Amino acid sequence: MLKIYSKKMVSAIVAGSLVFGLGAVVNAAPKDDGKQTGRTEQNVQTGVISFDDVSVPRYAKEIQLSGTVVIDGPQLVVDIPDATKTTVTKIADKKWKYEATVDVSAIKGDAEIKIAAYTIYANGKQAGSVHTSAPTASQKIHVPYVTSTVAENTEWATYDRSANQFTLAYDEVENWSVGDPVVTAKTMSVNGVDEEVTVLEKTLEVPIAIQDFVFSKSETTWEYDSNTGKYSATFDVLITDSKGNVTTELVTETGLTPGEVTAVSHSVTDDFGTITKTQEITVPFAPAVNVVAVELTELHLTLERQGSNQFKVYAEYTILYSDNNTKKVDKTLLEGGNIANPTSQNQNSSSKDYIIGGFTYTVTAHYDSGTNTYYATAVLKKADVFVSLSLFSIFPYTILNLFLLLFSSYFAGP
């Protein structure tokens, strides 16, 4: 049999199907016995919305909102824009709890979220129409955001000489709209040839360091110190800095032994450390030195009678040479002939020039009539020093005469 429904009954069925498409609704499946409910639309604003405080964490994409609604009505609907999921739960008579997930990824800083709540009929007459509502609430939130990112505590930490790169260490500081800054330690590589570098809008001057140095191939200058018998060597080193500039530094090494192959080290230092390099050099042999006698010391003269009218002259002495060496010369006969006996000429003295150890001396034979002795003195020609040495005759005298006659070591009688 074909059943025919009234217009009122069709409207009730359609309205009942619309209830499940309005906001977040929690209700048991309606019992449809085909009878009219007789409910009427009240549409009065008697509800109150209360929301829980929420603190939005940094980097949040979504937040959870929650609160309660006290309202009189059959079924609560909570409407929050941009909510991706909303649930409502009746927790007491006329009291409902709501929870909602809200997308805040597009929000920066302060914002207000509108929260609307109303009740509806779940079925029956006027189903889907507002039964009671609550004034819309505005919940203020703050979505934290980075206000600025700056570089602090910059430091040129290291320098790689082989790669000509500096390492810049710094703190990346994120300043947020709320809360403490976020500090992250970072480093970056900077080419040594660069003049400046910009990091997080901060411009820094790139330092200059020594990249390398080499020993110059130019000729080494040698200087010999005859007092020490050592050489000093002067040479150039070529220093290249991180900007590619080359400078020359003059270096002198001392105390080098003649004729040796020796290693010469040199170091250069900057703020990033020290470079040390070594090269081998061959030290020249010592130059030939013309050694000459420069002085006679400890000169002693002796007269030996040769007949009645002459004396042979003997000398012993020490020669000091220009290289500070000495040579002891024992008693030796002076060449150039005999010296006259002064008494043979009725004189108290007679003189004659002799070469002694390479020096010319005027030797004088003296006669002391008081003691009846002979002795000799020598004067270096063209010199201010008078060397007086006793020259003893071959005849012995008393020990008293030895004391009285200065520079005498041998006495002789006529």
Domain shared by 305 and 399, yes or no: yes
Could you tell me if 320 and 293 are in contact, meaning their C-beta atoms sit under 8 angstroms apart?
yes
Q: Which tens digits make up the pLDDT trace of 109-127?
A: 999 999 999 998 776 445 4
Domain shared by 300 and 359, yes or no: yes
Please say which residue of 143, 160, 183 terminates a domain. Answer: 143
Cα distance between residue 33 and residue 326, in whole Å = 147
Please say which residue of 96, 112, 143 terminates a domain. Answer: 143
Q: Is residue 37 part of a domain?
A: no
DSSP string, 141-195: EEE--EEEEEEEEEEEEEEETTTTEEEEEEEEEEEESSSPPEEEEEEEEEETT-S
How many folded domains does the chain comprise? Answer: 4
End-to-end CA distance of the chain: give it in Å, rounded.
196
Q: Taking Cα atoms as reference points, which of 323, 316, 321, 301 lies closest to residue 393?
A: 301
Q: Is 12 helix (H, G, I), strand (E, B) or coil?
A: helix
Cα distance between residue 314 and residue 128, in whole Å = 156
Q: Is 13 helix (H, G, I), strand (E, B) or coil?
A: helix
Q: Is residue 413 part of a domain?
A: no
Phi, psi (deg, nearest 5) at residue 387? -100, 115
Q: Is residue 411 part of a domain?
A: no
Domain shared by 170 and 225, yes or no: no
Provide the pairing of β-strand 230-241 with 221-225. antiparallel
Cα distance between residue 173 and residue 170, in whole Å = 9
Q: Which tens digits make up the pLDDT trace of 161-212?
A: 999 999 999 999 999 999 999 999 999 999 999 999 999 999 999 999 999 9
Q: Is residue 409 part of a domain?
A: no
Q: Taking Cα atoms as reference points, which of 249, 245, 242, 244 lies closest to residue 268?
A: 249
Domain shared by 242 and 278, yes or no: yes
Cα distance between residue 168 and residue 196, in whole Å = 12
272 band by pLDDT with thresholds 50, 70 and 90: very high
Query: What is the token pair recorded at 134?
Result: 């609550």
Cα distance between residue 107 and residue 54, in whole Å = 15
Cα distance between residue 352 and residue 366, in whole Å = 12
At 16 the pLDDT is 37
Q: Which residues fall within 8 angstroms of residue 110, CB to CB, at 6 or more apart?
A: 140, 141, 142
Residues in the chain: 414
Percentage of the chain beyond pLDDT 90 is: 65
Element (DSSP H or E) covering residue 354: strand 349-356
Domain shared by 252 and 308, yes or no: no
Cα distance between residue 116 and residue 107, in whole Å = 20
Domain shared by 225 and 254, yes or no: yes
Domain shared by 115 and 159, yes or no: no
Please say which residue of 263, 282, 301 terminates a domain. Answer: 282
Give CA separation, 329 vs 305, 336, 361, in Å: 22, 18, 16
Q: Is residue 412 part of a domain?
A: no
Q: Is residue 105 part of a domain?
A: yes
Domain shared by 71 and 186, yes or no: no
Domain shared by 220 and 247, yes or no: yes
Domain shared by 126 and 19, yes or no: yes
What is the span of the domain harbouring residue 358?
Answer: 293-404
Q: Is residue 50 part of a domain?
A: yes
Domain shared by 101 and 153, yes or no: no
Q: Which tens digits make up the pLDDT trace of 157-168?
A: 999 999 999 999
Q: Taking Cα atoms as reference points, which of 308, 317, 355, 359 lies closest to residue 336?
A: 355
Q: Which tens digits make up the pLDDT trace of 35-64?
A: 333 344 456 677 999 999 999 999 999 999
Q: Look up the CATH number of the domain holding residue 124.
A: 2.60.40
Q: Which tens digits make up the pLDDT trace of 317-376?
A: 999 988 888 999 999 999 989 999 998 888 889 999 999 988 999 999 999 888 989 999
Domain shared by 325 and 256, yes or no: no
Q: Is residue 255 part of a domain?
A: yes
Could you tell me if 352 and 344 are in contact, meaning their C-beta atoms sit under 8 angstroms apart?
no
When pLDDT is averaged across residues 128-138 and rounded to a whole number, the result is 85
DSSP-derived secondary structure letter, 345: G
